Amino acid sequence: MRWIEARVDSAQGRLLSHVRHCDSFLCRLRGLMLRRHLGDDEGLLLVGQRESRWDAAIHMLFVLFPIAAVWLNAEGYVVDIQLARPFRPLYVPQAPARDVLEGPPTLLDQVRVGDRLRFSEVEDG
């Protein structure tokens, strides 16, 4: 399993220390479905193929808890953020995005549209 950490290009520093890098179709499709919880320092980065509103849309079917959804363009800039609630069928970003960072709802207090996020590898353990 490949883990990365998320940082904001600002004085805030690290946002999440355990982010699962998810770039396969099946990993993106499954997302956080049927998980019982998400840790305060955990997230999932859904890596897309191209920037698009519809290709970056997420569903919350069989996701049992609310999450922060942070949409990023190809350069890593935040283009939209939303609180995604359990069992909602569809969330579409306001602007074209390539990637989606899913994390705990507290992430919404740390990230703003226009922020640039960077991800770096972390050692397993």
Burial of 17 (0-12, 13-18, 19+ CB in 10 A): middle
CA 9 to chain centre: 16
Determine how many CB atoms are found less than 10 A away from the CB of residue 101. Answer: 25
d(CA 26, CA 101) in angstroms, rounded, equals 16
pLDDT in tens, 3-53: 666 766 655 677 888 888 898 888 887 888 878 888 888 999 999 999 999
Question: Which of the residue ranges 27-31, 95-99, 100-104, 110-114 would you say has the lowest mean pLDDT?
Answer: 27-31
* Single pTM value for the model: 0.88
Residue 18 · residue 42 · CB < 8 Å: yes
Look at strands 13-22 and 42-46 and give their pairing: parallel
> Which fold, 3-121?
Jelly Rolls (2.60.120)
DSSP state of 28: H
Q: Using alpha carbons only, give the angle 46, 2, 115 rounded to the nearest 5 degrees.
A: 45
The residue ranges of every structural domain in the chain are: 3-121
Q: What is the mean pLDDT of the chain?
A: 88
